Chain A
Amino acid sequence: MPFRIPTTAGQQFSLPWIKYSKIDNPSTGWGVALRMFFEIAFFRSLFRNTKADILNGRLYVGSNKWLWIGALAFHYCFLIILVRHLRFFVGETPWCISLIDSIDSFWQIGLPMLYMTDIIIAAALLYLLGRRIFNPQVKYISLPSDYFPLFLILGIVATGILMRYFAKVDITSIKELTLGLVYLNPIVPKGLGSLFYIHLFLVSVLFAYFPFSKLMHMGGVFLSPTRNLANNNRMKRHVNPWDYPVKHRHYEEYENEFREKMKKAGIPVEKE
């Protein structure tokens, strides 16, 4: 258990006539829920991002939303694409999935219709990869385990896009295979191209890699004590289960050491 150490990002709740930041500095559970919602759904913290530069001995700090846009675009596209794939995993596609599908292909470009998310996720991924390669700071901090998931997901996206728009595959057979898995009655239809199996393999690698890697930030973001705790420590006592008593100096020892000096100076003492 951590201590209650929220990072406060706005005016605290204090005097009644001072307007306080209910979301950025929540003092209640509901405020925290909203803060977490904005954090997870809109990447609130990243939205604040700034960029610092030193020019002619002066520091300039300016707004910088690119990373926020790139990250948000990537994550939402990934989510939509994942949800869209549900049509391969359930017998009858629910209407909401069909709706997402038709919104995603709203522009009705080409046949099969172009999904906006396919373009955006590819662009976002290339941007995220690009920053790792060309931004000197990010390049310096990057580990192989930062590039790996990027390339992995790029591979998944690339094979997916190839299958849909270029080298066509027989999706009816694919669904027979996936549904066979869902019904725990696996079948391997004939005539499925290698592209599909590469796609499937990469996705499996991603899922297997997920729990042991930084991708666990998906779960971790919910657990971050600087965000998911209310700033109400002075209002409500936060108990720490492993807290233990510590040795500290008692007033008695203090007075014993300084009694004569205190008496001389006219400072009241416990024992004369």
Chain B
Amino acid sequence: MYDGWKIILGLIVFVIIVTLPFTMSIGKPYVQPKPSIDTPEIQKMEKKQCIEPKQYMREMHIKILYSWKDYATREGKRVYVASDGKQYDVSLQNTCMKCHSNKEKFCDECHNYVNVKPYCWDCHIEPKVGGVK
């Protein structure tokens, strides 16, 4: 019996599923994330440099933050010595968010882009829109 149509139907379904990423993007503008460092605190800085170099921070901030959690809550260690020798307070609220007070325009910009949902704000108080005053 000729069952060829079933095979073709199956192939069509397969192709539709495989090309889903492409077809789902049709008509939707391509938005590139632009994390903003335009906060009063950063504007005040002479050399606009985070605690570590930018590329390192892009890749490793998650590791730093995760280790900071252990330093602060488990080991009681409150000082982070950066690679350039500078010392920073181990604190999300008081160190990171002091400069990056614009969570929505900084953190969320990339996190939403790659669909990452960090659980920082399960414990920490989420900064109000416009940053901590």
Taking CB as reference atom, which chain B residue is nearest A113?
B119
| Inter-chain contact B118/A239, CB cutoff 8 Å | no
Taking CB as reference atom, which chain B residue is nearest A218?
B14
Q: How far is the CA of A172 from the CA of B116 in the complex (A)?
A: 10
Interface assignment of A256: CB less than 8 Å from any CB of chain B: no
Interface size for chain A: under 10, 10 to 19, 20 to 34, or 35 or more residues?
A: 35 or more
Taking CB as reference atom, which chain A residue is nearest B21?
A89
Q: Enumerate B38-68 residues with CB–CB distance to A below 8 Å.
A: 55, 58-60, 62-63, 65-66
Supposing A175-B113, A182-B21 touch, asked if A170 and B1 sit within 8 A by C-beta, the answer is no
Which residues of chain A are within 8 angstroms of B116 by Cβ–Cβ distance? 112, 171
Name the prevailing secondary structure of the B interface residues.
Answer: helix
Supposing A111-B65, A172-B58, A223-B7 touch, asked if A98 and B115 sit within 8 A by C-beta, the answer is yes
Per-residue CB proximity of A92-112 to B under 8 Å, as 1/0?
Answer: 111001100110000010111
Which residues of chain B are within 8 angstroms of A176 by Cβ–Cβ distance? 32
**Interface residue total, chain B, C-beta cutoff 8 A:** 33
B103 to chain A, nearest CB (A): 16
Taking CB as reference atom, which chain A residue is nearest B4?
A1
Taking CB as reference atom, which chain B residue is nearest A178?
B21
| Inter-chain contact B24/A90, CB cutoff 8 Å | yes
Q: Which of B7, B30, B59 has the most CB of A within 10 A?
A: B59
Which 4 pairs of residues, A with B, have the shortest CB-CB distance?
A: A89-B21, A93-B115, A111-B66, A87-B115
